[in-house]
Each structure stands twice: as structure tokens, then as C-alpha cells.
Structure 1
Amino acid sequence: MRAGKKIETVTEYVENSEKNSVDLDQALNIAGFGWYNAKYCLVLALFLIAAIVEPVGYSFVLPAAKCDLQLTDAQRGFIASIPYIGIVITSYPWGYIVDTQGRKRTLIYSSMAAGFFGMLSAFMPERISFIVCKFMNALCIASPAAVPYTFIGEIVPQRNRDLTMSVVNAMQILGSALVPLLAWAILPTNFRANFGLYDFSPWRLLVILNSALFVIAATLMAFGSESPKYLVAQGKHDEAIKVLQTIYSGNKGISPEDYPVKSLKMPNSNELEKRGIMTSLKDQTVPLMKPRLLKWLALNGFLFFGAFATLNGLYVWVPDILNRVISGNGEDMTACQVIAQRFNQDRKKTLLVIVFCLIGVFCILINFITDPMGFAVLLSSLPIMGLTIGPINSFAVEIFPTQLRGMAISLSMMMGRIGSIVGTNVAGVLINVVCEATFYLFGGLLLLCGLLTFLLPRSQPPLEQFKLSTHL
């Protein structure tokens, strides 16, 4: 009886109150969290998985393609950094496009292009054409590598946001585990089909499968809705209401018309005024350069730099390192000694501190472990760094306003990809020259990131489930 009275009070409050316009966070809180959010986040997670599988796949593709493409170790290091070079170059323009043209459209077009050029590279007969196609693919990856985090933060109620980010992040890490599984299933088959200028071999099939994830994700996204926060920021009130009705209906299993919110608080008309491209770019960038937001942008960027330098930089060389160590005569020797011989505040913040410090310590311990299985375990722990991406982006969603969020996350992720480029090439150069220093360097960087994490702001408390949303 009391529950029925509560529903009546909510409806009356929303429909008849003089203050019947609610802000979007409250509207999302009313729409709830359920099946609609879950399936949408699964699709967005697929974009993130694709953006991880593509560059990480190089660590298995390039050794297999070494003979066909006539690659030296230095060239392998350069090609492995191509995805991150492309992301660094295009993060700024993709951030602008995401904030001005919409999350959904940008994700679909960029992912389709990334998938097309990635699969096309599998049919290239020699090194130069392969690199060109991979570079075109890399120019499109910045969008699916960053936009899903913005999207998730804008379709999930605030009280469920951190958990959702963590789950999606865990799925992304599981996606990185897909890379060695695919390589293990395909590369040993040793089939070859003559295509005239070249033989189609297993590594080419692996390239196609790695890139196909972009096309699958973009196809599924075509059936989804635009971000309601983007629609509100663009002054599209009725479209935003329709999306919220769809979310409400999908989560509750009832008619969209039953959604009680009929009016949303909209931005001022001055904010919606049509602007030229240069003016728009200025408006998207200058606010981020002001001290209030610049300090958080710089901190987020540095944390990403440390995470990606290890996750996508040092990790690229893990298969090669493990192969050298396990196949060498390295009893009672550390990993670097074997290589030298052969060559001659909250849960989010707590998670970040633990992961950065734990993997940092693991990197340093590699120099002291003499058991091959022990340092294999330590090296294989590097993908755990992927757990940091979700929390850092979750902080970004809280810190930066909607109209700047896409740009801010893109620029932060750009710093992360610069870390990938630096990490890949630094590890490639140092691992054979001053191996111990390599692991000390990466371990120290991660420990520094762990300390800097304490500078992040306290998380905002979730919206109270007050009378507007308690029992709907």
C-alpha cells in the first residue's frame, strides 16, 4: 500500500510540480539500470576490445610476418608503434568530432574505416603497402579507443557508473587475452595459398580476424541510440526524451510512454548558437587549458602515459622475451641475464594505487627472479594494467563538463598512446643493451603514477534516490 502511494507521489511530482524540468542525471536515475544499459555497454565494450586487440595483436603478427615482409627488429618496433602514432595524431580532431557530431555516428564511421583498412592490410604483398594500410587503420582507432568511455558515462546512472566502468574494463582485459588465443589457434596451422604476388599465410588471416571486431561493433551500434547527454548539450530536447524513454522501457519492461519525466533542463540558448569551425575548436579547447581543468587533464594524461607505456609498450615485447628466456639455457639466471647471454580515496583511487604499485614492484622483481616460471608469471601480469583505464576515465567523466568531455578524454588517451609509442621503442632499444635498467625504468614510472593517483579528487557521491526515483 505504501509502495503504491509512493508511485503516485512520484508521478504527481514530475507531471504537476512547477519545477517539472529535471536535469539529465536525475532523469537517468529514474530510467534506472537494467537490460538496456547492460546490452549497450556490451556493444561499447566490443569497441574497446577491438581497439586493444588490433595493436596488441602486432606482438604476435609481426614475428610470424618477419620473413614474408622482411622485417628487422627495429622495423618491428616501429610498425608496432604505428597504431599509437595514429592515435596521437588524430586524438584532437576525433575529440572535436565526437563533441560536435555525436558519439554514435563518430563511433560507427571511424570503426568501419578502421576495420576496412585493417583487413585490407592483410592482402598487401610487401612491407611498404602493409605499413600504409596499417597507418590508415591507426588514424581511425582513436575514436573507438576513447569514445566508449564517454558514452558509458552518459547512459548509465551515476550510482552505477563506477561499477559499470570496472566491469567493462575487465571485459577489455579479457579481450586482450583473446589475442594470444587467436594466435595460438591460427599461426601453427601453416597453410599457404598462392595469390600471385604473395602467399596468403596464417598471419594474414590473424590480421583479418583482429580487424573484423571493428566492423562487428559498428554494425551492432547502428541499432543503438545516441547519447542523451550529447542530445541535451545540442539542444535536442525531444530526441533526448525519446532516448530516455527507450532506456526506461528497456530496463523496466514497460511502455516508453510510462516514463514520468516530460521535461529536461536544457542549456542556455547562447550555448546552442551555431559557430564556425575555428570558433568551435577554440571553444572546445581553451576551457581545457584553464588552470581549473588543465591540472586534471595533465594528471589524467600522465597516469595514462604510465599505464600505456607498460601495457602497450613493454608488453609488445613479452612474447619475444619469454621465447628467449624459456628456450635459452637460463637455469639460476634472471630474465635479463638470459637475454644478455643470448644477445651477448575511494575504491577507484584504491584500485589505481594498488595496480600501479603492484605491477611496478613486479617489474622491479623481474631483475631478481631466477626461476623461468616465476618471471614468466611476472611478465604475464602486465595486462593487469588494463584495470587502470576504466577508473581513470571514470574520474574524467566526473571532472570534465559534457561539452568538453569527449575532447578531454581524447587528449588524455592521446597522452596514453604517446606512452605506448615511447614504451614500445624504449623497451625495444634498452632490452638488449641495459636490460635491468628497462625494468627499473618501467617499474619506477608505475610507482610514480601510484603516488600521483593520490592527487585525484574525491569521487562525487551518487545522486540520492530521493522521491523522484526511489520506487519507479
Structure 2
Amino acid sequence: MYMEESIAEKAVEQTGFGKFNIKITAVSALIFFNCAFCITSVGFVVPTAACDFKMTTIDKGRISAAPMLGMVIGSSIWGYLADLKGRRIALLISLFMQLTVDALASIVPSYWTFVFLKFLSGISVTGQLSIVFTYLGEFQPTKYRNQILSWMELSWAIGVIILALIAWLIIPLRFQFKLHMLSFSSWNLFVLTNCLPALIVALWMLNLPETPKYLAENGRLDALMDVLTRMYIENTGNTAEQFKNVLSTCSIPSISALVNQLDSTETLKTMSMTNKERLKIMLNSSKSQMKALTKKPYAKRLGVTGSIMFCMTSTYYSLMTWFPELFQRFATFEKIFPGQFASVCTVSQRLAITNNSISFHHKLNPFGCDNEIDTSVYVNSIWLGVACLPCAILLPLTVERFGYRIYMLFTATISCVVTVAFFFVKTSMENLILSCIFEAFTSLNISVIFCLLVELFPTNLRVVATAITLFIGRIGSLFGNMLFGYLIDGYCMVLIIIMAAQLFFAATLCWATPSRDKMRKIQGRVSIEVQNKAFTS
């Protein structure tokens, strides 16, 4: 495995960097952009679909948690599919699956059917999140790889901003079409519109190739040469014959052998394997990798990063999907009680009491069917995305100088302080400011964890360690969303205490991550370990 990986990486280095790499980066950014659409759009659907589905707060919580549950279930599927069938095929399946289920979700009349479809949508989007960084990274020369991967966070922030603009454009529209049991209104159109990024990127990916690393690992040398040649031509503008000459004169024997199609015995064996045999090898490899991760020093590293990820995603994804609902509650509170100030918890409690009071209007309108989303909800959601932009730009520019531990400790601490401060806000503006700070710093912390995982684990353990950490994080996001839905009305103070405690625990654990100097020593040891593995293979 290591030898094929080495061949692929060295061959990619010969293709240069140019238009092809930019094209792959753009597609990958659109996939990450699409993930932002899929996950955060639920926050706008919850308050607007409340009337049609006759939802209580707990019902809204189920819709917010459904994609997270799907992401937990889907975590163990996509990695194996990507290794068995290829990164491109796995991404295409996940994109077309999301496109189909989200399109169906825009027209279903049943609450529980909608919840189930959002669950399936979560399964599909976790495939994109799990594979897109691998797909992007395996096309990039080593010199540019980390920098390009770091800039991916920017596409998420842009996705949040554009989603809020589309919601602002579509949801306030006043129309409704009914045909028997089916009903189609502005929020249905909004859900349907959210499918467009998946459709665009899926059609684009049909014309893109499989990654060189996957083709090399599976002995598909003809396809590998075709992809490498395409990369070279698009990057340099030179011809295929010139590329063959570059490879032939390369000082690396394994690269020169690609030109002559000199398949080794091991390669021929790989080519003749059935999918069942490949799956068996993958499962055996996974067992040995899991065994290695239970030993020093990897067990401690995995435990620390997994625990931090659980705490951060539990708060981040729950608040991210509930922010539009909270903004709407503040707007409603200020209309009902003009001139009065209240915290997040006070707003939720007083509105709950108001909604539960027996009145003629409540009997006619128990689910807020006459209410419209306040314009401030869209504006505030845009500010949330804008707040993430500076951090998304600063991360790749400064992380090498300050180190991962300082970044993680600082961002987790700020997020904890901001969460506690939600107790003391008195106006919607104060709530918005704190929400922006929370969104920016928590998102940044999660991005740094992904960068840290790449450095803490050698190549043969990196994918499994990342998958386990992601799985733990998605359990955290499911836990946070369910907790939020059940506690926000009656036990808001308990909810904020739990969230603040999680963030404090995460900040404490950040001290257990390596310092900048220690990280450099780890990187050196990991590099030597990978070289030794490749040599012995």
C-alpha cells in the first residue's frame, strides 16, 4: 500500500500546479458549500414549516436532530465505499442521493416523512464531508496541499451567507399551491432550491476523474496514466508526448516504469481481485489499525481529539441550526413586549407562557400560522456567515506561527465565555454579537482539529483516526440538537450550563494537545515512520 501511495504522490508532483488543480479545488469548495446549505438550511425550515406540520418545540428539535442522526449512521459507510469503489463514485452517489431526498422533502405533506427524508439527507451529506478533503488532497502536490485544504473553510462561511440571502429572497413570498394532500408554499420552494448546488456539482463531477492515489492502489495503471497526463496537459499546456518524456527521464524508477506499463506481480494480483477480496483486505487492515490506535501514543491523542470534537460539535451544530429560531423569538418578544429587555432564557420562557395561555387567538393560531419570519432573522444569519470570514482567512495564514494548541485553547475558551454571557444579554443586538463571536470561534476550533489530526497520526492510521473523531463529533451534534429541543423552553438555564461546561472541558483538554515545538518533533517522527513503512513494504 505504501509503495503505491508513494508512486501516486511522486507522479502527481511531476504534473505541476495549474488549471486542473484549481478546477478540482473549485469543485471541492462547491461540495463543502453544498454541505453548508444542507446542514444550515434546517434552521430556516423549522420556524417556517411550523404551521404546516403543526410543530411544537420538541417537534422542531426532531427535525434539527434528524440530519445529525443520519450523519452518525452514515459515518461508517462512506469510507469503505470510497476505498472499495473510489472517491469519485462515492461522492457522486452521495450527491445524487442528497439531491433526490431533498427534492422529495420539498413536497411531502407528512411531518414524519419529512423527518425521515432529512435523516437520509444527513446520511448523504456525511459522505461528502468525509470524502471531499481526501478527494481534493490526493490531486494536490505536497507543496500546496495543506494551504489549499486550509482555505476550504472559507467556502463554508460563504455558503452560510448565500443561504441566508436565498432564504430572505424566497421564504417571505406569499403563495401556496394545493393539490389534494400536497401543498407547496415558499418554504417548500426554499427546500427545493437548496438542491441546486448538489445538482450543479454532481453534473460537473461526471466529467472529472478518479484520484491518482486510488488508481495506483488498485493497480489501474492505464487509467492512472490517463489522469496524470490530463493533469499535466491542463496545468502546463504541453502535450502528452512531452509528459511521457518527463516521466521517462525522471530519476525515480517507479515513475519511469509507469510509461512502459511494467506491472509488478503485486499489481497484477491487485487488478485481479474481486470486490469481495478487496473488502476482506480492507476489514483486516481496519482491525490492525484499530489495534494500533489502542496503544501509546495514539490512544491518548485519539481520546483527546475525540473528546474535544464531541464537546465543540455538540454546542456548535445545535446552536447553528437553532439560531434562526432564536432570532425569531427575540423579534417576536420585542413586538409583544416593546421596550422590555430579556436574556435568551427569559425570552424563551415568557414566550412559552404567552403561547400556552388560553386565549381566543391561541385557539385559532396555536402554531403561529399568522406569524411571519422577521427580516432581522435573515440579516442576523448573514452576519453569522460574515463573522466567520476573518477567521477562515486568518487560519491558514497564522496557524504555523502560533501552533495548534494556542489556537484551540483560545477559541474554546472564548466560546465558553460567550456561552456563559448568553445569561446576561438584554437585547437582540447583544444576542447577535455574542452569536457571531460564538459561530466564528467554535467553527475555527473544529477546523483546527481537522488540521491537528493530519499531523498527529501517520498515513496508515490517519484515515481511521479521522473517521473515529468525526463519528464522535456527529454523536455530539446529535446529542446537542436533541438536548436543545427538549430544554430550551422549560430548562433554558440548565441547557446553557451544560453547554458552557462542555466548552470548559474542551478548553481544559486543549492543554493535553502538543505544543508547537512538540508538534514539530511529532511531525519528524511520523515522517520517519512513514518512510520506514514504505521501505519495508
Calculate the TM-score normalised by the size of structure 2: 0.74
The size of the alignment, in residue pairs, is 443
Change (3 A) 1:187 1:348: farther
Superposed CA RMSD = 3.1
Matched ranges for 1:77-116 at <5 A: 77-116=61-100
1:199 partner SS = strand
Deviates more, 1:363-372 or 1:401-410: 401-410
Q: What does the per-residue CA deviation read over 1:171-222, in whole Å, with 9 as the maximum and x for residues that have no partner? A: 1122122222221111100211122213210111111111332222111111
Which letter does structure 1 place at the counterpart of 2:473?
A: G
Give the counterpart letter for 1:140 in structure 2: S
Separation in 1 of the partners of 2:299 and 2:226? 35
Residue type at the aligned position of 1:418: I
Report the 3-state secondary structure (helix = DSSP H, G, I; strand = E; otherwise coil) of the residue aligned with 2:122: helix
State yes or no: 1:240 paired with 2:242: no
1:343-422 matches, within 5 Å, as 343=352, 346=400, 349=404, 350-384=406-440, 385-400=442-457, 406-422=463-479
Give yes or no for the alignment of 1:339 onto 2:317.
no
Q: Which amino acid aligns with 2:326?
A: I
Identify if the C-alpha distance between structure 1 residues 394 and 377 changes in structure 2 by more than 3 Å, giving closer, same or farther: same
Matched, 1:172 2:156: yes
Q: Which residue identity does 1:439 align to in structure 2?
A: I
1:383 positional shift: 3.2
Once the two structures are TM-superposed, the CA of residue 373 in structure 1 deviates from its matched residue by 0.8
Deviation readout 1:4-51 (Å, 9 max, x if unpaired): xxxxxxxxxxxxxxxxx9744444344333332222111112222222
Partners of 1:296 and 1:239 lie apart in 2 by 38
CA positional deviation for 1:233: 2.2
CA shift digits 1:128-168 (9 cap, x unpaired): 33233333333322211221011222222233223212211
* C-alpha distance in structure 2 between counterparts of 1:33 and 1:452, whole Å: 39
Q: Tell me the CA shift for residue 77 of structure 1.
A: 0.6
Alpha-carbon distance between aligned partners in 2 of 1:220 and 1:351, rounded to the nearest angstrom: 36
Q: Name the SS of the counterpart of 1:376 in structure 2.
A: helix
Matched, 1:195 2:252: no
- 1:332 CA displacement: 4.6
Structure 1 distance, partners of 2:423, 2:7, is: 54
* 2:315 aligned with 1:310: yes
Structure 1 residues 216-268: Cα deviation after superposition (integer angstroms, max 9, x where no partner)? 21111111121112222223344334333333333333334434235449999
1:441 aligns with 2:498: yes
- What is the correspondence of 1:236-275 to structure 2 with a 5 Å cutoff? 236-259=220-243, 260-262=246-248, 263-264=254-255, 269=266, 272=270, 274=273, 275=277
Residues 301 and 35 (structure 1 numbering): CA distance in 2 closer, same or farther, change over 3 Å? farther
- Distance in 2 between the 1:240 and 1:414 partners? 32
Q: Is the 8 A contact 1:228 1:240 kept in 2?
A: yes
Q: 1:111 to 1:301 in 2, by over 3 A?
A: farther
Distance apart, 1:452 and its partner CA: 3.2
SS of 1:261 mapped into structure 2: helix
Tell me the distance in 2 between the aligned counterparts of 1:298 and 1:48: 27
Q: Write out per-residue CA displacement over residues 308-365 of structure 1, whole angstroms, 9 at most, x where no aligned residue.
A: 2222112222122222224324745433233333335735614434333322222122
Residue 310 of structure 1 aligns with an amino acid whose one-letter code is T
Would you say 1:277 and 2:279 are equivalent positions?
A: yes
Deviates more, 1:48-57 or 1:303-312: 303-312
Counterpart of 1:158 in structure 2 is: 142
* More divergent stretch after superposition (288-297 vs 227-236): 288-297
| 8 Å CA contact 1:111, 1:141 repeated in 2 | yes
Which whole-Å CA distance do the structure 2 matches of 1:104 and 1:402 have between them? 21
1:42 aligns with 2:26: yes
Partner Cα separation in structure 1 for residue 213 and residue 179 of structure 2: 49
2:46 aligned to 42, 48, 62, which one?
Answer: 62
- Cα distance in 2 for partners of 1:405, 1:195 equals 52
Conserved? CA contact 1:36–1:250, under 8 Å = yes
Question: CA distance change for structure 1 residues 250 and 382 in 2, over 3 Å: closer, same or farther?
Answer: farther
In 2, the alpha carbon distance for the partners of 1:451 and 1:32 equals 43
SS of the equivalent of 1:188 reads coil
Letter in 1 for 2:55: L
Q: Which stretches in structure 1 are left out of the alignment for 5+ residues?
A: 1-20, 464-472
Structure 2 Cα separation of the partners of residues 95 and 422 of structure 1 = 23
Give the 3 Å change call, closer, same or farther, for CA 188–229 of structure 1 in structure 2: same
Aligned residue identity for 2:171: L
Q: Secondary structure, in 3 states, of the residue corresponding to 2:203?
A: helix
Using a 3 Å threshold, how does the CA distance of structure 1 residues 295 and 244 change in structure 2: closer, same or farther?
farther
Match for residue 17 of structure 1? none
The answer on whether the counterparts of 1:334 and 1:366 sit within 8 Å (CA) in structure 2 is yes
Q: Who is 1:425 aligned against?
A: 482
Cα pair distance change 1:374/1:245, threshold 3 Å: same
Change (3 A) 1:86 1:201: same
In 2, Cα distance between equivalents of 1:395 and 1:232: 27
One-letter code of the match for 1:375? N
**Local SS of the residue matching 1:155:** coil
